[in-house]
Amino acid sequence: MTTGGSRKAPDVVDVVALGESMVTFLPTVPGRLADVPSFERAIGGAESNVACVLAAAGHSARWVSRVGADGFGDHLVETIGAYGVDVSSVRRDAARPTGVYFRTAGDRATDAHEVAYYRAGSAASAMTVDTVDLDAVRASRVLHLSGITAALSGPCLDLLRELTAPRPGRPLVSFDVNHRPGLWRDAAGARVLLELARGADIVFVGDDEAREAWGLHGARAVREALPEPEIVVVKQGRGGATALGKDTDGMCEDATGTATFVRALNVDVVAAVGAGDAFAAGFLSATLRGLPVRDRLRHGHLMAAAALTVPGDLATPPARDHADRLAALDDTAWGTLRLGPGWTEAAPRAEEEVSTP
């Protein structure tokens, strides 16, 4: 509401996630896109996924983006809002459509996986420092961004450069590299992602991404290439994840320059989609709560396990006390824990959940 020409300052939330979300069409049966007779509608977007998981886990979250003034835009805003995410700063674009994409049912890591994107010229690609509410973006404890946004357009890249630039009072900036070579128009993408990552406080990157984009091998090499962030999390797939910090004050005060590795959980995988976003959400949730680095990694793995045991990108996270109990297991129990479909829906005693794979 505006009174006398003044504008009410936006409420400060735990996390703001800025980026494009699209309507996703998931096949009803396996097979090539050419052979699939029908699809089910869902939503997909790295940053909005993080916001939805955090909101479902009890944090205040805001999604900032642009969508078309169309039915798909309505669906995105309504669906993301239904998770408890503040969508009041999402702007509508009457001249550009909401992005959509279709994918096959198979694992994204296989050669048989197909994705057909229809996002060129989308409303989100028109995000600029002038077309988003920067006050709403910065009114947060953590601002979560990803490299996908930087690849959408030149103005989107300028926006991310503005948000990762050092300035007094900025929120803690979380950056998921999300290297998508197909989105970049030239070979400069890898250099740009390195530049943006160096401006962040928390960086998430897969070891495979670091090899492909930057030619870096191993978590220590990634940390050396990114000396500025307070903490760098290198995800090693089914092996686990390593967090490397530096001496600092604030939310990462226990990160002392040493590497903390936590192995991934044994999971009965239903679909290997959404796990990276869920991992980031779990890590950020534990960061907001001031938990030790080991527990931040464990909460990341638990949120990833929730996503891996459902067909789509988004899953109901475990109740906080359930996740806390599992994160507190000793190393032996953590190593033998196995999680399958439905594990987040009930909270049995931790020792009952431990089984040998």
Residues labelled as active-site residues: 277
Nearest to 1 by CA among 235, 171, 9, 218: 9
CA distances from 121 to 152, 207, 274 (A): 9, 31, 25
Picking from 28, 63, 60, 57, the residue whose alpha carbon sits closest to that of residue 45 is 63
Give residue 237's region: left, alpha or beta (phi > 0; psi -120 to 50). Answer: left
Query: Which phi and psi angles does 309 have, rounded to 5°?
Result: -100, 20
Burial of 318 (0-12, 13-18, 19+ CB in 10 A): buried
Give 140's strand partners: 13
CA dihedral 230, 138, 320, 286 (to 10 degrees): 0
Identify each DSSP E strand in the chain by its residue range: 2-3, 6-7, 13-18, 22-27, 39-44, 61-64, 66-68, 91-93, 100-103, 115-118, 140-146, 172-176, 202-206, 231-235, 240-245, 259-263, 266-267, 338-339
Which of 144-177 are b and which e, b meaning 16 or more Cβ less than 10 Å from the residue's Cβ?
A: bbbbbbbbbbeebbebbeebbeeeeeebbbbbbb
Of 217, 253, 143, 49, the closest CA to residue 205 belongs to 217
Are the C-beta atoms of residues 143 and 174 closer than 8 Å to each other? yes
DSSP class of residue 204 equals E
Tokens in use for 213?
Answer: 């984009």
Structure tokens at 10: 């936006």
Tokens 């490397």 found at: 244
